[in-house]
Amino acid sequence: MATWQLVQYVVTGITVGSIYAIVGLGFTIIYSVTGIINFAQGEFVMLGGMTAFSLIGLGLPIPVALMLAVVLVTLVGVVFNLTAIRPAGRASSITLIIITIGGALFIRAVAGLYWGRDAVALPPFSSGASLSFLGAYIRPQSLWVIGITLVLMVVVYLLLNRTLVGKALKAAAINRRAAALVGIDARMMSLVSFALAAATGAIGGIVIAPISYASYDMGVMLGLKGFVAAAMGGLTGVWGVFLGGLGLGLAESLAAGYISSSYKDAIALIFLFAVLLIRSRRLVAGEEAAA
């Protein structure tokens, strides 16, 4: 087995893993603030890629189109929260999770009607030949993906841990009533978390579209893998989901390279199985401790 091959798989794994980390970040943000697992997160990713494609098609300069796509998808997140989550009031987490599944189906169906079923490609963010590294080829877009992921992680980390709104988001999650008594509106915090998750999701969809195409149904698999990344990271911390995403991406890429590419998605499902097994045990343990 040649070294260059291993390096190639690792580079691919880190690139793909970065995307999973971005998608997972959205899950983590919403879960840590509201306790909801938002299964529409993958659709935010899809909307990011597809909206950027359409805006570029309208003739907007690429940077403008990409930024506008993020803004528009953020608005979708806000509208989703206001129309689907807020009216449910203080329904149980399970109810809210089912609402997000319904929302995901709705968004996907509308996207399928509007954009059709064909996959589309975005141009890479920068042109230029692939770089050669230890015999492996690294596409410039891979570097964009990894770089943007790192920046996004740091920004979200600082936002959640250092700023007043970050502390308020946490406080609303810890004790909704106590939060209200210092002036924090838990419903507003839920809205902010959805906006933030939609924005990060859109960025994920935009950076991956030049590599793996975008289509109306890309959110299904990406959402699932993002969820696995987030669950591996414990669903609460930024760095946990980052490592979870990279771990999943690397495992997938190495399995595809050394075993068979048809096992790629199976890896994610095996991880999902393992994570659910371990986490649900932990959940049960937590309930016992509380009782």
Smaller CB distance to other proteins: residue 176 or 264? 176
Provide, rounded to whole angstroms, the least separation between the CB of residue 70 and other proteins: 17
Figure out which of the listed residues 62, 84, 119, 165 binds other proteins, where binding follows CB under 8 A.
Answer: 165
78 counts as binding other proteins under rule CB under 8 A = no
180 counts as binding other proteins under rule CB under 8 A = yes
Q: Which of 12, 8, 15 is nearest to 145 (CA)?
A: 15
- Reading the block at residue 182, the tokens are 């210092």
Place of tokens 């509208």: 79
Q: Are 104 and 188 in contact (CB under 8 A)?
A: no
Provide, rounded to whole angstroms, the least separation between the CB of residue 50 and other proteins: 30
Smaller CB distance to other proteins: residue 104 or 189? 189
Provide, rounded to whole angstroms, the least separation between the CB of residue 198 and other proteins: 18
- For residue 120, the SS3 value is strand
**What is the full DSSP assignment across 172-200?**
HHH-HHHHHHTT--HHHHHHHHHHHHHHH
Measured in whole angstroms, the distance separating CA 270 from the mean position of its chain's CA atoms is: 19
Measured in whole angstroms, the distance separating CA 174 from the mean position of its chain's CA atoms is: 23
Smaller CB distance to other proteins: residue 187 or 279? 187
Residue type, 171: A
Figure out which of the listed residues 171, 206, 224, 250 binds other proteins, where binding follows CB under 8 A.
Answer: 171
162 counts as binding other proteins under rule CB under 8 A = yes
Figure out which of the listed residues 78, 91, 185, 276 binds other proteins, where binding follows CB under 8 A.
Answer: 185
Residue ranges binding other proteins (CB under 8 A): 159, 162-165, 167-168, 170-171, 174-175, 177-185
